Amino acid sequence: MNQDSTSSAKLPKTARGRRTREKLLGAAEEEFGARGYHAVAINDITRRAGVALGTFYVYFESKEEIYRALVPYMSSRVRSYIAERIADVPDRLTAERKGLEAFLEFVREHKGLYRIISEAEFVANDKFVEHYRVFAKAYRDNLANAGDRGQIREGDYEVWSWAIMGMAVFLGMRYGEGDRDADPERIADVVVDLMAHGIGRPAENEEQN
């Protein structure tokens, strides 16, 4: 059984080693994202990274191992990108708006993201599950914190987190991978309006105002 490539025992201890490992992961993102797991060979990754084949085995034991490392690597990058964009927002709905804008931008910049994550369901299922569970836990905690501050109403934050994530996944498919000319700000405004007001008819007194 392969040792998990995210183990601290296998992570490089020098800045140069970390840069080389990042270079290999970046090349793996490009190769797997463009052609899929089964079509890519290790020498495709090393060629794109500009490193010797032997260097690959300093950091990863196999193609499967680098793929298993790539999934949490990409997951972490998505979360970090969004976190930076919403760090100074004043409330939860603004965070939802800015976060969705950031997610759509990230998908457009990283064209292979969806293919990498979707193939992980079959290549590295535990990493696939971990990707969504980690996202959901962070989302649930953020919603709970917003609820405690009175920014949103009380509710089942666990269910809400998965529901909102589900919207984001399909919006990313449609407006990140697909319609790349759509304005992320407009898409985010529409979605946040849905979050804030739902799809039910307004109350009678609201219709009269």
Give the C-alpha distances (Å, rounded to integers) separating 129 from 20, 61, 118: 27, 23, 11
State the Cα angle at 83 between 128 and 131, rounded to 5°: 5
In whole numbers, what is the pLDDT of the chain averaged over residues? 93
157 and 110 within one domain: yes
Residue 8's pLDDT is: 47
Please count the structural domains in the chain.
2
Provide long-range contacts, Cβ within 8 A and 24+ apart, for 127-135.
127/68, 127/71, 127/72, 128/71, 130/71, 130/72, 130/75, 131/71, 131/72, 131/75, 132/165, 134/75, 134/79, 135/75, 135/79, 135/165
pLDDT per residue as tens digits for the range 62-72: 999 999 999 99
**53 and 74 share one domain:** no
Residue 203 belongs to some domain of the structure: no
Tell me how many degrees the CA angle 123-40-171 measures, rounded to the nearest 5: 60
Q: Mind listing the pLDDT tens digit for each residue in 9-32?
A: 478 889 999 999 999 999 999 999
Assessment of whether the complete model's pTM goes beyond 0.75: yes
Domain that holds residue 16: 12-60
